[in-house]
Structure 1
């Protein structure tokens, strides 16, 4: 019976290690992009719930976006979300660390433009003031700057 020598085993282990070192950064970039997209969907969901609550309860609903702590929350409610580590809010109105978005009973809002970003992706979240419609888009201007 022929077995495997120690040298052959070490060569195989070194090759596996080299392949893992090359492929791990590719997998981590993909995971970080998914993390940013998931965070954008969660923030979108909080804003949509706030608008729905304002219409259904016929009273204002206020959402606070705290970029310093990476949190978004619907005031007077348990609805909220904390961003994962590595993802942050970028408020479009410079010099402010928080943003208040008010939704009114008629569906309109105070309007807002916020960005969510990490080292690989940037998503822009817009809240229209007239309709209160919330939209999420990939910020392509940042992608173009990186190229």
Structure 2
């Protein structure tokens, strides 16, 4: 004798309407993400340039002390370079104030300030002339 069970009153699974609603929501989220533009922001690129330039200045000071000779870092509107090193080119939309900073074997420097700009944001990188210390911070308006 075969006994059949009655079908459950609530069927398991999703209805077509539920699936369409989920797809519409996913489409809206994807559209919002895509319209935000590139994954790299102007602020992130500015911070990367500031870190690279401050690192280059600190490296130049260390090399001047270690090699017992003067090492110079030069900045132009769209690039910077240390003596004997390759030029680092800035991201599109960024600019530097032109400067020349020389580090002596005693750890001192010619001092100065370099402004890195990206759109409305500006960061100043300073070099203390007596100690050669390199620092950075936002430009005060």
TM norm structure 2: 0.72
Quick check: which one's helix share is greater? 1
Query: Residue 115 and residue 13 in structure 1: after superposition, are their counterparts in 2 closer, same or farther (change >3 A)?
Result: farther
- Residue segments in structure 2 that go unaligned for 5+ positions in a row: 1-15
- Which protein, 1 or 2, shows the higher relative CO under an 8 Å CA cutoff with sep ≥ 6? 1
Contact persistence 1:60–1:102 (CA under 8 A): yes
Instruction: Tell whether 2:96 aligns with 1:75.
Output: no
Deviation larger for 50-59 or 111-120: 111-120
Rg larger in 1 or in 2?
2
CA positional deviation for 1:32: 1.2
Residue in 2 that maps onto 1:114: 114
The residue that corresponds to 1:60 in the other structure is 70
1:81 to 1:60, Cα distance in 2 relative to 1, 3 A: same
Change in Cα spacing, 1:21 to 1:116, as seen in structure 2 (3 Å) is farther
TM normalised by structure 1 equals 0.69
Structure 2 residue matching 1:76: 3-state secondary structure: coil
3-state DSSP of counterpart to 1:37: helix
Moved over 6 A (4+): 11-18
Alignment equivalent of 2:51, drawn from 41, 44, 51: 41
The corresponding residue for 1:95 is none
Aligned: 1:86 with 2:131 = no
Deviations 1:92-138 (A, max 9, x none): xxxxxx31111011101001101111125321100010101101112
Q: Partner of 1:31 in structure 2? A: 41
Work out the number of aligned pairs and report it. Answer: 129
